[in-house]
A and B are shown apart, each in its own frame.
Chain A
Amino acid sequence: MILGIPDPQILLGYGLAIGFTLACIVYGLLNWNKGGNGNGS
């Protein structure tokens, strides 16, 4: 039991929710200045 939660599926859910959030932050930082070409594709 980790953090008082016995079911690994619930823990995995929390892990993925936090993991995806971190992925959003990392993606934003890594691509902070990429794609700045106005209207172009």
Chain B
Amino acid sequence: MAVNPMTMTILALVYIAITMVIGYIGYKKTKCSEDYLVAGRDSHPVVIALSYGATFISTSAIIGFGGQAANLGMSLIWLTVLNIGVGILLAFVLFGKRTREIGHRLSAVTFPDLMCKLYKSPVLQYIAGFIIVVSMPLYTAAILIGGARFIEPTLGIDYTTSLILFAVITAVYVVFGGLIAVMYTDAFQGTIMLVGMTVLLGLTLIAVGGVTAGCEALTNMAGLVPKALADQGMTGWTSMPALGSPIWFTVITTLVLGVGIGVLAQPQLVVRFMTAKDDKTLNRAILVGGPFILMMTGVAFTVGALSNVYFYNTTGKLAIDAAGGNVDTIIPLFINSAMPDLFVVIFMLTLLAAAMSTLSALYHAMGTALVCDLWGRGRECALSMKAHQFGIVIMMVLSTILAFLLPISIIARATAMFMGLCACAFLPSFAIGVYAKNPSTKAALYSMVSGAVVWFAWTAFFHAAEAKPLGICQAIFGKVTLLGAPWTAVDPIVIALPISMIVMIALQLQYGKEQSAEAAAA
């Protein structure tokens, strides 16, 4: 980094101090378990919107997916379309209001608890809690690795210390302040992210000569698409990949659908709907949430693609070549090369804020799932604040250990995997559960299990991007994947989610009436 490390360190310390003060205010406001678990069901609309957005957008969304846009072009803007259309509008209007109302009525405090009360089935709470406790540490570890890899060169702290400090500092305010502290600090961190990304867009457009000139220059670079990418269907940075090509499948199924739909059933986001006092709060939150997401992913993808123009004009290289072939370092390199020193500092804080806001939400969701939904279900201790604090610490330690065991290259992959699994396992049963008059327990159970199992099977045996590093298929069958192209590029969500949905709808039609007759007889 070009900026003096001492300046960076001082600003990082000021940022952490402010975060801790806000966390302390959250701690002081936390009087009972309901405060700790669902922020007293009385959060401000701006806090809900910024907390939802900042939790949703992690460092990998900015650095990882921004780098992907530099490599694959502006086709990623379709992910922003889904992020806003599905992740905000559909999520808040269709699911948010029902979730809030049902959560209040049934006094649900976690996502698995909501599923249990919707379907009157403790088994569903155990299964949902189990899926969260097993899969969320993977996503958490990816966020920890991303944060530590960023802190290491920026503040000059070695990787191991960076990772432990990052894990512990974030855990402190989550453990003591619960969801109020998490959401307050999210709002502060979301504000920093909004400022950082707005400035980034403005300075990038100046660096490439404006919107039209920059995009025209990028269009004229189509002939420079590397042969390896052109052979796989890439046509340029301002055009979609060739329909049905391997890159088209990667962009549309993994990046756009996988992440765009996956957001709908993420436990740590669903619980934010239950923190709203009334529908008015959610209506107002939508007004803030939409523009916030546009300024996060929309800006990251646009800047990522346009960075090719800057690098080509200044170094004669494409962004990916300038970054030495590492997609994850394109955005940081662009910031360091093209932006003034002051902005490098602002962007450093933006990334730290993005990582901490997601990490804090995951700690809270995992810890409460462990205590409320698995270990303590049905017991008095499940609602004890001390028990939840203990649960968060356990999950924080497990995630940190996992972060040391996983390879660095897992960051973007683990993010997409977690979101895909959540959608396949939870989305159909969650959607039917909040809308059906008599949701069938059997349907939810089979949908959840089939979604998770098919997702895992496709991940381990068919989707090359995961099957190869996992090595399960290789060990059992002696080959990387069971099928050849194009199936190796089709994301698990495209297969597992429709299956989970069909199972849910078919069994709901068969058993829903039976269940309603039983309920009437009782």
Contact = CB atoms under 8 A, between A and B. Distances in A.
Contact of A13 (B81, B219, B278, B290): B81
Interface string A1-41: 10111110110011011101111110111011111111111
B215 A4 contact: yes
A41 B105 contact: yes
A17 B215 contact: no
A23 to B, nearest CB: 6
Contact of A5 (B78, B219, B280, B298): B219
Nearest to A9: B240
B53 to A, nearest CB: 11
Given A4-B213, A5-B238, A23 B277 contact: no
Nearest to A23: B89
B51 to A, nearest CB: 16
Contacts of A24: 84, 88-89, 286-287, 289-291
Contacts of B282: 35
Contacts of B284: 28, 32
B205 to A, nearest CB: 12
B218 A13 contact: no
Contacts of A20: 81, 84-85, 88-89, 290
Interface string B69-92: 000001101101100110011000
Interface in B207-230: 211-219
B78 A1 contact: no
| Interface-centre pick from A9, A24, A32 (highest chain B CB count, 10 A) | A24
A7 B236 CA distance: 10
B294 A17 contact: yes
Nearest to B243: A9
A5 B88 CA distance: 27
A4 B279 contact: no
B77 A13 contact: yes
Interface in B261-294: 277-280, 282-291, 293-294
A37 B291 CA distance: 26
B280 A35 contact: yes
B239 interface: yes
A33 B218 CA distance: 45
A3 B211 contact: yes
A7 to B, nearest CB: 4
A10 to B, nearest CB: 5
B18 interface: no
Nearest to B294: A21
Nearest to B93: A27
Given A4-B238, A16-B81, A24-B88, A35 B219 contact: no
Given A7-B240, A13-B80, A28-B284, A21 B93 contact: no
Contacts of B341: none
B85 A29 contact: no
Contacts of B88: 20, 24
Given A24-B286, A28-B283, A17 B80 contact: yes
Given A4-B216, A7-B239, A31 B283 contact: yes
A35 B239 contact: no
B317 interface: no
B77 A17 contact: yes
Contacts of A4: 211-219, 238
B263 to A, nearest CB: 14
B364 interface: no
A29 B279 CA distance: 13
Nearest to A6: B219
A1 to B, nearest CB: 7
Nearest to A41: B101
Nearest to B85: A20
B290 A23 contact: yes
Interface centre among B85, B236, B288 (most CB of A within 10 A): B85
Nearest to B284: A28
B240 A27 contact: no
Contact of B78 (A13, A27, A29, A38): A13
A32 B215 contact: no
B104 interface: yes
Given A17-B84, A23-B290, A10 B75 contact: yes
B283 A38 contact: no
Contacts of B388: none
Closest 8 CB pairs of A and B: A28-B287, A24-B290, A35-B279, A4-B215, A4-B216, A36-B280, A7-B239, A31-B283
16 contacts: A1-B219, A3-B211, A4-B217, A4-B219, A6-B219, A7-B236, A7-B239, A10-B74, A13-B80, A14-B77, A17-B77, A24-B287, A28-B287, A32-B287, A34-B279, A36-B278
Given A3-B211, A5-B74, 7 more contacts: A7-B236, A9-B239, A10-B239, A23-B290, A24-B286, A28-B288, A34-B279
Interface of A: 1, 3-7, 9-10, 13-14, 16-18, 20-25, 27-29, 31-41
Interface of B: 41, 74-75, 77-78, 80-81, 84-85, 88-89, 93, 97, 101, 104-105, 211-219, 236, 238-240, 277-280, 282-291, 293-294, 298
